[in-house]
């Protein structure tokens, strides 16, 4: 199957076959074609754009359709063929709707204009979308349509004196332009030139981009001006305008390769002039431009100039544009860095007329810039000519010594092109000045500091946006930490995790160096100052002072006494010790106490105690221990508390128990009995002494009694704290009221609208007093169906519908139950509507085409964008453009993709895919914009054999070979050299190694081979059933195994064994076709899916005709293989084979 990389046009063959549709008569002197377009003309407004309005000649880009009824359009010479009264060319469109009626199409027109204008920027030519006035020299380019027209053959009959006596009109005929662009070579004759016709709808979706269409336009204009098309040459960075390129390069340029010098060809025969030079080419003739130090920055450079480079050294010497710039340093005392950026046309950053920017576009510049900086006396300071980049950039730090006394510094900027032919086009010069940052001066800390969390400070630097602080060990030189900050001070903070290499708790005692540098933005080259001078400091922490105990000092009745002492200036933490007086028994030992007060967590029993404290500084060095102080704990005799709540009957399900405080109490004990059930409801042993109330968990209705007593700090003989007298048992009753009615609050739409857009709404309601569970009831008012949702025993105040609900009006009620399972009143009715929106139209995004504009997969996966809101399902249809029929349509897809199944395998045609979305309610969107692909399946690659080889003992060997992605299945031909039999194996399932480079197939046990010598070949089959050539052969030997259990019985007949393991004959597979609904699954194609699912093996014995002399003689048994392979290549000879069938 022959493949072509050409996707554009060939002028020499454009109308070669059209003459077959003409009927000639001997008395007719001339013939012309009248063409009528098949599409309706749409006259729409397009952007009014012009590149050089006062130019000598105009290229008119006509996007709104054109009627050529009064013009004869010559389409071919030798033999002569012209179109008379040609029908209208339709308006430009790529989305299938008439005319540029979408923002995307309008932006595409704008992009095409800019690209064509760049191609003709070096010439005195105006590229425009505005209809030129009468009399202006012009070439008209009609952009639109698919090149399909209708025409009639008009025959004029003349008498013997040459007078017209009749015009015969033939029947209507359809004509198809076979190329996306038409232009007659060297046809420019002022206003009498043929038009250039460009047909975007002949391109695939991937090719319908601004760069490809603009190249077609420029090709057509170039051809009319005398340029011939050339063989596609170039690189990914540069491609010839007059070539049919398979992919879009970074730049399109005019070239001087065979068959012509494009620049000479455009100007010499046609009289088109070069554009006048716009700027002087020397320091003496330089144009003035200025850079303001204050207002400019790297992020916001100033545009100081723009121009056009219109000739290269390869033509008449490079065009050089020189600019004089004065840098004003009168408002700063420092120096600066000068940034110069010279950029060619950049469509990826240019804002379109609608305000949008498309960063994915190729730049569009034809110019490869060279920029040079000179001093005031002409000394070269810097130059930049990057490759393959096409923009120039200079970063030059201005020496302070070069700034004169008046602080006004003069430089010259030269813009030119490389020596590359065709490196021409527009440019802009952008400059900025960035002040060079000065180093800060460290101010603190200095000398010795008495804190491990020192504060650093330094001076600010003009124009700095931040600083980097570095602290290192003065003895070892190792960096302790660095900190980036926008402030001019920093205090070491243990909770700061934004320091490097990691957070630190403090700086230990010792000597350190600190330095700082200023940064601008994110720093880096030209945006960082030098380091400041280092400042040395020392951390030396004094010992803490000796604490003095404040309390307790005498007897106390508090079993949880507060210990307090004085706090010194250098105190960081404390250790508290309490002993039984006169002993070494320590009852309290608290370390790392941060404050100078402490209350122990456990009570002290009545008795005498001794208390002391020691302070520690920031580096954990201790000071002197305090003087010990004796104190005594004497708790008063406990009395019974008084219970104040609950009393009588309570309606709360969580009644608060409240009692009076008891002096000397350490804890309180609370016990509640459920008299209705005869059980202990709850017991709380150690309620804190600081709270005289308790909030219980939820309690059921019933009769209760409660008792409270205080607990002392003294421990009894049982090892427990001794309890005081209790309140006695106090009865109370819980009688819970029925729940209040809830209020339904949802579902609700935006801005509290009663209409929602989701079909599984969320119902919500308020939590009423005493409500613990709920019943939900929903009726459909539209269909008059009650209880479409009926949910009982819901434990939350919200519920999401379990299934999708139909569109319509609904009414909701909710009621609550209390803890005693008593039901309340129903809520007020709540109405809402469901009106599900139709999803947005999806956009097909895949499959992507290769560099040739093709899809090489016969079962591609189509993908499209998800919709807003998300669609419930999709319908997908595929139309075969080439055959004019629908390939297939699938409905109710639940994912945003569809993989073409084997039954619908695509043929080598042009296809148009469309998809539409639908919501849960069944509302559908419009079909998406068409997505066009061309399927082109590569030929299968002849496999390279790997194994088996040599001698093996396995009678079911594994065959392996090199695999290629174009191979869909394989056929193995095995030659039994001993028994003179051929075995054909059709392999539809095979294994691949992890890298996908090696395929293997294991012969089934049912088809095991006998010991003997074998030779085998493999050929590949692609998805269309087309076979590759046979591989070279490989030979292997199977020897007899020693294990008798694996050998055949001597009584078995070898032929019977062969016959028992073979499957239907090779000829049978050719007539098996799949029941596919696709028109592409044609019966004449041998396709892998047409074969039954299992692999099959056919044993083929050669007939006498295998030894015919028509097949080249080869020694011995190889002639049989050659004979068999000859018959495989010629299916008509299959009858010569004898097949054994099981």
Q: Cα-flanking dihedrals φ and ψ of residue 1072, to 5°?
A: -85, 120
Which residue in this structure is represented by tokens 């400070």? 457
Select from 3.40.50.2300, 3.30.420.40, 2.60.40.10, 3.30.750.200 the CATH code of 744-833: 2.60.40.10
Residue 913 has pLDDT above 50, yes or no: yes
Helices and strands of the chain, counted as H and E runs: 5, 77
Which of the given ranges, 37-46, 193-202, 460-469, 510-519, has the highest pLDDT on average?
Answer: 510-519
The whole-angstrom separation of Cα 657 and Cα 705 is: 11
Specify whether the CB–CB gap between 90 and 39 falls below 8 A. Answer: yes
Of all residues in the chain, the percent with pLDDT exceeding 70 is: 81
Better-predicted residue by pLDDT, 1142 or 730:
730
Residue 177 has pLDDT above 90, yes or no: no
1132: three-class secondary structure by DSSP: helix
Strand-by-strand arrangement of the 499-500 sheet: 447-449, 535-539, 510-519, 466-473, 479-485, 499-500
Mean pLDDT of 504-527: 88
Specify whether the CB–CB gap between 746 and 755 falls below 8 A. Answer: no
pLDDT in the model for residue 1091? 31
Phi-psi category of residue 402: left, alpha or beta, with phi > 0 → left and psi -120 to 50 → alpha:
alpha
Radius of gyration of the chain (CA): 47
DSSP 274: B
- Taking residue 339's Cβ as centre, other Cβ atoms within 10 Å add up to 20
Tell me the pLDDT tens digit for each residue of 635-689.
888 999 999 999 999 988 889 999 999 988 999 999 999 999 999 999 998 899 8
Tell me the pLDDT tens digit for each residue of 386-425.
766 678 899 888 887 888 888 888 999 999 988 888 889 9
The whole-angstrom separation of Cα 252 and Cα 347 is: 14
Tell me the pLDDT tens digit for each residue of 48-66.
899 999 888 899 999 888 7
Q: Cα-flanking dihedrals φ and ψ of residue 844, to 5°?
A: -75, 130
Mean pLDDT of 924-934: 93
Of all residues in the chain, the percent with pLDDT exceeding 90 is: 44
pLDDT in the model for residue 1137? 35
Torsion of CA 49, 52, 56, 60, to 10 degrees: -20
Residue 17 has pLDDT above 60, yes or no: no
pLDDT in the model for residue 236? 64
**DSSP assignments along 377-410, one per residue:** T--EEEEE--SS---EEEEEEPPGGGS-TTSEEE
Domain 442-539 = CATH 3.40.50.720 = no
Q: Are strands 755-756 and 744-746 parallel, antiparallel or unpaired?
A: unpaired
Kindly report the average pLDDT of the chain as a whole number: 81
CA-wise closest residue to 425 among 112, 128, 114:
114
671: three-class secondary structure by DSSP: strand
Mean pLDDT of 88-105: 77
CA-wise closest residue to 628 among 553, 543, 544, 545:
553
Mean pLDDT of 792-799: 96
264: three-class secondary structure by DSSP: helix
Q: Cα-flanking dihedrals φ and ψ of residue 570, to 5°?
A: -105, 10
Torsion of CA 253, 258, 262, 266, to 10 degrees: -150
The whole-angstrom separation of Cα 801 and Cα 805 is: 8
Query: Which fold, 643-734?
Result: Immunoglobulin-like (2.60.40)
Q: Are strands 597-599 and 562-565 parallel, antiparallel or unpaired?
A: antiparallel
Domain 945-1140 = CATH 2.40.50.140 = no
Q: Cα-flanking dihedrals φ and ψ of residue 190, to 5°?
A: 70, -120
Q: Cα-flanking dihedrals φ and ψ of residue 106, to 5°?
A: -65, -40
Give the pair of three-digit tokens for residue 888. Answer: 């297939």
**DSSP assignments along 1072-1122, one per residue:** -----S-TTS-TTS--GGGS-SS-EEEEEE--GGGG-TTSPP-STTHHHHH
Task: For residue 874, name the pLDDT band (cuts at 50, 70, 90).
Answer: very high
The whole-angstrom separation of Cα 462 and Cα 784 is: 77
Mean pLDDT of 1109-1131: 45
Task: For residue 85, name the pLDDT band (cuts at 50, 70, 90).
Answer: low
**Least confident piece of the model among 778-782, 911-915, 926-930, 1047-1051:** 1047-1051
Tell me the pLDDT tens digit for each residue of 940-967.
899 999 999 889 999 999 999 999 888 8
Better-predicted residue by pLDDT, 1046 or 199:
199
The residue count of the chain comes to 1142
Specify whether the CB–CB gap between 327 and 348 falls below 8 A. Answer: no
The whole-angstrom separation of Cα 358 and Cα 353 is: 12
Residue 743 has pLDDT above 50, yes or no: yes
CA-wise closest residue to 361 among 135, 210, 161, 511:
210
Give the pair of three-digit tokens for residue 95. Answer: 């989305």
**DSSP assignments along 814-873, one per residue:** EEEE-TT--B-PPPPPEEEEE-PPPPPPP-EEESPP-TTS-B--SS-EEEEPPPSSPPSE
**DSSP assignments along 949-1011, one per residue:** -EEE--SSPEEEEE--TT--EEEEEEEETTTTEEEEEEES--EE-TTS-EEEEEPPGGGPPPS
CA-wise closest residue to 763 among 690, 813, 828, 713:
813
pLDDT in the model for residue 1084? 33
Which residue in this structure is represented by tokens 């540069």? 238
Give the pair of three-digit tokens for residue 1023. Answer: 């998805």
Specify whether the CB–CB gap between 325 and 431 falls below 8 A. Answer: yes
Give the pair of three-digit tokens for residue 219. Answer: 């090709």
End-to-end Cα separation, the chain, in angstroms: 37
**Least confident piece of the model among 220-234, 766-780, 1018-1032, 1042-1056:** 1042-1056
CA-wise closest residue to 253 among 244, 245, 242:
242
pLDDT in the model for residue 1096? 45
Query: Which fold, 844-934?
Result: Immunoglobulin-like (2.60.40)
CATH number of the structural domain 287-435 = 2.60.120.380
CA-wise closest residue to 404 among 381, 375, 432, 437:
375
Distance between alpha carbon 1099 and the CA centroid of its chain, in Å? 54
- Taking residue 628's Cβ as centre, other Cβ atoms within 10 Å add up to 13
Better-predicted residue by pLDDT, 299 or 1135:
299
What residue ranges of the chain are covered by domains with CATH 2.60.120.380?
Answer: 287-435
Q: What angle do CA 216, 218, 219 make, to 5 degrees?
A: 60
Q: Residue 1122: which H helix or E strand, with range? A: helix 1118-1129
pLDDT in the model for residue 80? 59
Tell me which long-range contacts 626-630 makes (C-beta under 8 A, separation of at least 24).
626/546, 626/547, 626/548, 626/549, 626/565, 627/548, 627/549, 629/549, 629/552, 629/553, 630/581
What residue ranges of the chain are covered by domains with CATH 2.60.40.10?
Answer: 442-539, 549-633, 643-734, 744-833, 844-934, 945-1140
pLDDT in the model for residue 327? 85
pLDDT in the model for residue 949? 86
Q: Cα-flanking dihedrals φ and ψ of residue 157, to 5°?
A: -105, 125
Mean pLDDT of 759-778: 95
CA-wise closest residue to 683 among 716, 653, 707, 718:
707
Task: For residue 155, name the pLDDT band (cuts at 50, 70, 90).
Answer: confident
Distance between alpha carbon 167 and the CA centroid of its chain, in Å? 63
pLDDT in the model for residue 1140? 30
Q: Residue 222: which H helix or E strand, with range? A: helix 210-224
The whole-angstrom separation of Cα 23 and Cα 35 is: 16
The whole-angstrom separation of Cα 915 and Cα 190 is: 48
Q: At what angle do helices 210-224 and 103-119 cross, to 10 degrees?
A: 40
Task: Mention the CATH class of domain 549-633.
Answer: mainly beta
Specify whether the CB–CB gap between 886 and 804 falls below 8 A. Answer: no
Beta strands in 445-570 (DSSP E): 447-449, 455-458, 466-473, 479-485, 489-491, 499-500, 510-519, 535-539, 549-551, 555-556, 562-565
pLDDT in the model for residue 64? 85
Phi-psi category of residue 1089: left, alpha or beta, with phi > 0 → left and psi -120 to 50 → alpha:
alpha
């Amino acid at each position: 199957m022959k493949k072509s990389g050409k996707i554009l046009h060939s002028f020499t063959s454009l109308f070669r076959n059209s003459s077959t549709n003409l009927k000639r008569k001997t008395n007719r002197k001339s013939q012309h074609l009248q063409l009528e377009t098949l599409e309706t003309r749409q006259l729409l407004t397009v952007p009014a754009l012009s590149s050089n309005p006062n130019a000598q000649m105009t290229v008119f880009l006509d996007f709104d359709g054109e009627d050529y009824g009064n013009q004869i359009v010559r389409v071919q010479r030798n033999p002569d063929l012209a179109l008379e009264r040609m029908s209208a060319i339709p308006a430009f469109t790529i989305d299938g709707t008439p005319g540029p009626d979408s923002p995307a199409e309008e932006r595409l027109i704008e992009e095409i204009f800019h690209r064509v204008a760049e191609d003709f920027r070096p010439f005195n030519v105006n590229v425009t979308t505005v209809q030129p006035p009468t009399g202006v020299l012009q070439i008209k380019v009609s952009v639109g349509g698919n090149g399909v027209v209708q025409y009639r053959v008009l025959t004029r009959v003349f008498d013997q004196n040459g007078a017209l006596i009749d015009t015969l009109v033939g029947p209507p005929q359809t004509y198809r332009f076979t190329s996306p662009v038409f232009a007659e070579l060297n046809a420019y004759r002022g206003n009498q030139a043929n038009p250039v016709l460009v047909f975007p709808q002949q391109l695939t979706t991937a090719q319908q981009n601004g760069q490809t269409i603009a190249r077609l336009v420029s090709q057509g204009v170039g051809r009319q001006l005398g340029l011939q098309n050339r063989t596609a040459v170039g690189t990914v960075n540069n491609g010839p305008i007059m070539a049919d390129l398979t992919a879009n390069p970074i730049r399109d340029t005019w070239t001087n390769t065979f068959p012509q010098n494009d620049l000479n060809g455009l100007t010499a025969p046609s009289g088109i002039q070069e554009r006048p030079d716009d700027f002087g080419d020397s320091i003496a003739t330089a144009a003035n431009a200025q850079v303001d130090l204050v207002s400019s920055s790297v992020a916001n450079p100033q545009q100081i100039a723009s121009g056009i480079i219109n000739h290269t050294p390869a033509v008449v010497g490079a065009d050089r544009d020189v600019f004089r710039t004065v840098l004003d340093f009168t408002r700063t005392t420092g120096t600066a860095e000068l940034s110069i950026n010279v950029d060619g046309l950049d469509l990826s950053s240019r804002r379109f007329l609608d305000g949008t920017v498309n960063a994915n576009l190729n730049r569009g510049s034809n110019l490869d810039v060279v920029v040079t900086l000179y001093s005031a006396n002409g000394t070269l300071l810097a130059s930049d000519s990057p490759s393959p980049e096409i923009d120039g950039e200079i970063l030059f730090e201005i020496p302070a010594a070069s700034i004169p006394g008046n602080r006004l510094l003069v430089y010259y900027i030269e813009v030119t092109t490389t020596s590359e032919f065709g490196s021409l086009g527009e440019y802009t010069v952008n400059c900025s000045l960035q002040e060079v940052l000065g180093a800060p001066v460290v101010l603190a800390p200095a000398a010795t500091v008495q804190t491990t969390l020192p504060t650093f400070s330094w001076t600010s630097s003009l124009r700095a946006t931040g600083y980097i602080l570095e602290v290192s060990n003065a003895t070892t030189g190792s960096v302790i930490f660095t900190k980036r900050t926008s402030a001019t001070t920093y205090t070491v903070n243990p909770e700061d995790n934004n320091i490097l290499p990691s957070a630190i708790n403090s700086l230990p005692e010792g000597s350190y160096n600190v330095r700082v540098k200023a940064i601008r933005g994110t720093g880096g080259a030209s945006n960082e100052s030098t380091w400041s001078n280092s400042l040395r400091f020392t951390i030396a922490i004094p010992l803490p002072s000796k604490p003095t105990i404040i309390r307790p000092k005498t007897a106390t009745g508090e079993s949880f006494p507060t210990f307090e002492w004085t706090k010194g200036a250098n105190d960081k933490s404390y250790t508290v010790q309490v002993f039984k007086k006169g002993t070494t028994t320590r009852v309290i030992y608290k370390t790392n106490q941060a404050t100078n007060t402490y209350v122990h967590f456990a009570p002290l029993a009545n008795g005498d105690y001794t208390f002391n404290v020691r302070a520690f500084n920031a580096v954990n060095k201790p000071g002197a221990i305090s003087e010990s102080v004796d104190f005594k704990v004497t708790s008063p005799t406990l009395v019974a508390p008084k219970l104040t709540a609950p009393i009588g009957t309570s309606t709360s399900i969580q009644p608060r128990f409240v009692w009076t405080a008891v002096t000397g109490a350490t804890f309180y004990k609370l016990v509640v009995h459920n008299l209705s059930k005869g059980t202990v409801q709850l017991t709380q042993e150690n309620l804190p002494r600081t709270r005289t109330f308790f909030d219980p968990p939820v309690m059921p209705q019933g009769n209760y009694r409660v008792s409270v007593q205080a607990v002392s700090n003294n421990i009894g003989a049982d090892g427990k704290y001794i309890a005081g007298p209790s309140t006695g048992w106090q009865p109370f009753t819980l009688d819970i009221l029925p729940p209040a009615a809830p209020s339904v609050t949802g579902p609700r739409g935006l801005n509290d609208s009663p209409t929602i857009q989701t079909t599984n709404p969320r119902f919500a309601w308020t939590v009423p007093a005493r409500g613990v569970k709920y019943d939900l009831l929903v009726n459909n008012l539209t269909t008059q169906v009650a209880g479409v949702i009926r949910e009982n025993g819901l434990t939350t105040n919200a519920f999401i519908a379990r299934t999708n609900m139909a569109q319509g009006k609904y009414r909701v009620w909710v009621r609550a139950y209390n803890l005693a399972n008593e039901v309340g009143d129903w809520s007020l009715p709540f109405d809402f509507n469901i009106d599900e929106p139709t999803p947005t139209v999806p956009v097909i995004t895949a499959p992507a085409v290769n560099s040739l504009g093709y899809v090489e997969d016969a079962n591609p996966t189509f993908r499209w964008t998800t919709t807003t809101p998300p669609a419930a399902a999709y319908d997908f249809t595929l139309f075969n453009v080439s055959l004019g029929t629908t390939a297939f349509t699938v409905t109710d897809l639940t994912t945003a993709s569809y993989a073409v199944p084997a039954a619908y395998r695509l043929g080598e045609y042009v296809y148009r895919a469309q998809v539409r979305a639908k919501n849960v309610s069944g509302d559908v969107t419009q079909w998406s914009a068409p997505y066009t692909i061309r399927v082109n399946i590569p030929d299968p690659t002849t496999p390279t054999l790997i194994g088996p080889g040599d001698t093996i003992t396995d009678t079911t060997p594994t065959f392996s070979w090199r695999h290629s992605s174009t191979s869909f299945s394989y056929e193995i031909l095995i030659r039994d050299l001993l028994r003179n039999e051929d075995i054909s194996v059709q392999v539809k399932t095979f294994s691949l190694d992890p890298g996908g480079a090696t395929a293997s197939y294991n012969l089934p046990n049912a088809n095991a081979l006998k010991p003997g010598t074998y030779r085998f070949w493999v050929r590949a089959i692609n998805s269309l059933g087309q076979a590759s050539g046979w591989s070279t052969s490989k030979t292997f030997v199977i020897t007899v195994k020693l294990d008798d259990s694996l050998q055949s019985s001597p009584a078995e007949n070898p032929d019977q064994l062969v016959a028992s393991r073979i499957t239907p004959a090779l000829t049978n597979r050719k007539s098996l076709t799949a029941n596919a609904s696709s028109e592409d699954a044609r019966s004449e194609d041998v396709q892998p899916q047409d074969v039954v699912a299992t692999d099959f093996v056919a044993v083929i014995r050669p007939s006498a005709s295998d030894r015919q002399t028509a097949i080249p003689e080869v020694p011995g048994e190889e002639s049989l293989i050659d004979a068999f392979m000859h018959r495989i290549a010629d299916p008509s000879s299959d009858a010569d084979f004898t097949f054994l069938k099981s």
